[in-house]
């Protein structure tokens, strides 16, 4: 994740630090979105693999499709495994960045 190379000094305005924070925020949002897409694609891959089986019936295909739909609706309300993992990493990075920024 890009944090920026500018360090805060007494002579520099605080604006540079604010720009770095917004840059990190945009990057974090993008990474979070990619983790969400990963969770969705994992569910789609499971459906695809089950449809490729030779012994699948129409009834079991419908059941698996309904189950996958429920799982994807659940992902809209609750975070998936990839999103939870990425959020933890983003929090660690932001805490580290804030500690460096404010030198605490």
Q: Is residue 6 part of a domain?
A: no
Asked if residue 29 is part of any domain, the answer here is yes
Does a structural domain hold residue 2? no
- pLDDT (0 to 100) of residue 101: 78
Model pLDDT, residue 22: 57
CB 16 within 8 A of CB 6: yes
How confident is the model over 3-51, as pLDDT tens digits?
A: 444 554 545 544 555 556 556 677 778 888 899 999 999 999 998 998 8
pLDDT at 42: 92
8 inside domain: no
Residue 30 lies in a domain: yes
Alpha carbon distance 69, 13 (integer Å): 51
Task: Quote the CA–CA distance of 72 and 77 in Å, as a whole number.
Answer: 9
Looking at residue 91, what is its pLDDT?
A: 86
| Predicted TM-score of the model (pTM) | 0.63
Q: What's the domain range around 42?
A: 15-102
Q: Is residue 49 part of a domain?
A: yes
- What is the count of structural domains for the chain? 1
- Does residue 10 belong to any structural domain of this protein? no
């Amino acid at each position: 994740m890009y944090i920026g190379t500018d360090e805060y000094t007494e002579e520099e305005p605080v604006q540079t630090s604010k720009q770095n924070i917004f840059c990190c925020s945009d990057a974090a949002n993008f990474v979070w979105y990619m983790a969400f897409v990963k969770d969705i694609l994992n569910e789609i891959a499971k459906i695809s693999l089950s449809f490729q089986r030779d012994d699948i019936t129409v009834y079991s295909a419908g059941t698996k499709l309904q189950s996958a739909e429920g799982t994807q609706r659940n992902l809209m309300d609750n975070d998936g495994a990839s999103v939870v993992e990425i959020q933890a990493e983003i929090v660690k990075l932001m805490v580290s960045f804030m500690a460096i920024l404010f030198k605490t």
